[in-house]
């Protein structure tokens, strides 16, 4: 018995940037076929591009992708590429996504959308002018517990939101021998964890609470120089015996930063982002309280949601193991099996490919990505002025 013809055409994807996150996107395309093939969704990674031919060739071999190139423009122009995933350092998102949009390719851009607000503006304009499907990979929106939190808030289960507490802390920057990769260069990354990690939390704040309309922010850099990269990876410390002998480069982004947030709807919030929090691995934390309840989410326990609501709201928080009965997009019929990081990118690929196939609206779009830049831009102004700054409001 043969499986018969494919139910739909396959979306053919090219990925630019074959570094750490590229693996997740290859896995997402393949996971899509397994998880959601029954919905007629199919994707295939047909090409990889990386500035380094060695990295590109190694990745193509490891991930079993048919072809690779060191010339990203070649990938963008290839007639057999329907959609481009931009997975390069932040300063390259704008030129690559704009070129891909102008070539008529659908674009999924890694987060943050850009290095800065001006580039984000140009990306939104180019994508909308080209009429392509565009999205920013705020994959944390796809965590089923977040989907459930959103449903509860929209159903009024916690009443009117009055406060938001957000944190995103990691510890890999604590070792001063971790190399000065592009993530520590303002001209490439735009900012440190306030943007890199903060973009996920600020996007979730927008979705769960509403528009942030003013901020005040402070930031600090404790490790002011690091050994220049040796090609051995972004996060691994250099051998301490060698670290002293390597040339060092300046760090000009924050190691940690804070914001106070004022929401247009009246809620107030706090946010802390850090790469210097020993013991915190990927502590993306949200606590949202309303007039009738509270919701708590912690990525390190991403299958759970703590909820206080209803008549017993003040009795304490109840732990809910989130399954498809709470959030239908859950990938398993038995929710207790749980989801992980990879599932979030598969779920995002599902939304992206569905939008390409059916022409359905897709969130988060480049506009959602820009919204985060509007907040971070105001935060960076506040770091200079020491005052509350208004957040630009582009619908």
Ligand X SMILES: NC(=O)c1ccc[n+]([C@@H]2O[C@H](COP(=O)([O-])OP(=O)(O)OC[C@H]3O[C@@H](n4cnc5c(N)ncnc54)[C@H](O)[C@@H]3O)[C@@H](O)[C@H]2O)c1
Q: Nearest approach, Cβ of 303 to ligand X (angstroms)?
A: 18
Helix (H) or strand (E) holding 296: strand 293-298
Among 43, 45, 49, 302, binds ligand X (CB under 6 A): 49
- Report the C-alpha gap between 44 and 42 in whole angstroms: 7
Residue nearer to ligand X on the CB measure, 16 or 273: 16
* Edge-to-edge order in the sheet of strand 43-49: 67-69, 43-49, 11-16, 83-86, 106-109, 134-136
Which of the stretches 14-22, 122-130, 275-283, 380-388 binds ligand X when contact is defined by CB under 6 A?
A: 14-22
Q: With binding defined as CB under 6 A, does residue 55 bind ligand X?
A: yes
Residue nearer to ligand X on the CB measure, 163 or 234: 234
Q: With binding defined as CB under 6 A, does residue 369 bind ligand X?
A: no
Q: With binding defined as CB under 6 A, does residue 89 bind ligand X?
A: yes
Among 234, 282, 329, 342, binds ligand X (CB under 6 A): 234
Coil, strand or helix: which one is 386?
Answer: coil
Q: With binding defined as CB under 6 A, does residue 87 bind ligand X?
A: yes
Q: With binding defined as CB under 6 A, does residue 72 bind ligand X?
A: yes
CA-to-CA dists, residue 111 to 21, 88, 120, 368, angstroms:
11, 10, 11, 11
Among 119, 135, 139, 365, binds ligand X (CB under 6 A): 139
Q: With binding defined as CB under 6 A, does residue 335 bind ligand X?
A: no
Give the rounded distance of the alpha carbon of 138 from its chain centre: 4
CA-to-CA dists, residue 208 to 154, 229, 306, angstroms:
8, 38, 15
Q: What is the 3-state secondary structure (H, E, C) of 253-290?
A: CCCEEEEEEEECCCCEEEEEEECCCCCCCCEEEEEEEE
- Give the nearest residue (CB) to ligand X: 19
DSSP state letter for 5? S
Q: With binding defined as CB under 6 A, does residue 243 bind ligand X?
A: no
Q: With binding defined as CB under 6 A, does residue 19 bind ligand X?
A: yes
Q: With binding defined as CB under 6 A, does residue 110 bind ligand X?
A: yes
Give the rounded distance of the alpha carbon of 346 from its chain centre: 13
Residues that bind ligand X (CB under 6 A): 16-21, 49-52, 55, 72, 87-90, 92, 110-111, 137, 139, 196, 234
């Amino acid at each position: 018995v043969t499986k018969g013809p494919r139910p739909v055409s396959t979306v053919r994807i090219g990925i630019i940037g074959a570094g750490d996150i590229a693996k997740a996107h290859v896995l997402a395309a393949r996971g899509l076929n397994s998880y959601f093939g029954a919905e007629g969704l199919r994707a295939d990674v047909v090409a990889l591009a990386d500035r380094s031919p060695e990295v590109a060739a190694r990745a193509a071999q490891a991930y079993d992708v048919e072809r690779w190139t060191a010339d990203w423009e070649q990938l963008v122009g290839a007639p057999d590429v329907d959609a481009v995933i931009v997975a390069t350092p932040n300063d390259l998102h704008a030129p690559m996504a704009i070129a891909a949009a102008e070539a008529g390719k659908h674009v999924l851009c890694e987060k943050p959308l850009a290095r800065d607000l001006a580039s984000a503006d140009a990306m939104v304009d180019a994508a909308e002018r080209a009429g392509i499907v565009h999205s920013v990979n705020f994959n944390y929106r796809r965590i089923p517990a977040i989907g459930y939190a959103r449903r509860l808030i929209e159903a009024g289960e916690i009443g009117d939101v009055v406060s938001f507490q957000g944190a995103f802390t990691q510890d890999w920057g604590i070792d001063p021998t971790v190399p000065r990769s592009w993530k520590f260069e303002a001209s490439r990354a735009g900012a440190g964890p306030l943007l890199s990690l903060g973009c996920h939390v600020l996007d979730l704040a927008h979705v769960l609470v509403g528009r942030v309309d003013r901020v005040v922010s402070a930031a600090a850099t404790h490790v002011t120089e690091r050994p220049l990269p040796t090609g051995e990876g972004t996060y691994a410390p250099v051998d301490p015996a060698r670290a002293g002998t390597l040339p060092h480069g300046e760090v000009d982004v924050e190691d940690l930063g804070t914001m106070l947030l004022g929401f247009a709807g009246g809620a107030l919030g706090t946010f802390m982002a850090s790469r210097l929090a020993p013991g915190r691995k990927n502590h993306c934390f949200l606590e949202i309280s309303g007039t009738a309840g509270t919701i708590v989410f912690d990525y390190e326990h991403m299958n759970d949601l703590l909820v206080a609501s209803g008549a017993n709201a003040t009795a304490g928080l109840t732990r809910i193991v989130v399954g498809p009965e709470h959030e239908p997009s859950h990938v398993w019929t038995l929710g207790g099996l749980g989801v992980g990081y990879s599932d979030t990118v598969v779920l995002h690929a599902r939304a992206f490919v569905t939008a390409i196939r059916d022409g359905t609206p897709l969130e988060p779009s480049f506009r959602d990505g820009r919204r985060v830049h509007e907040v971070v831009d105001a935060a960076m102004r506040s770091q200079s002025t020491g005052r509350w700054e208004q957040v630009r409001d582009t619908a």
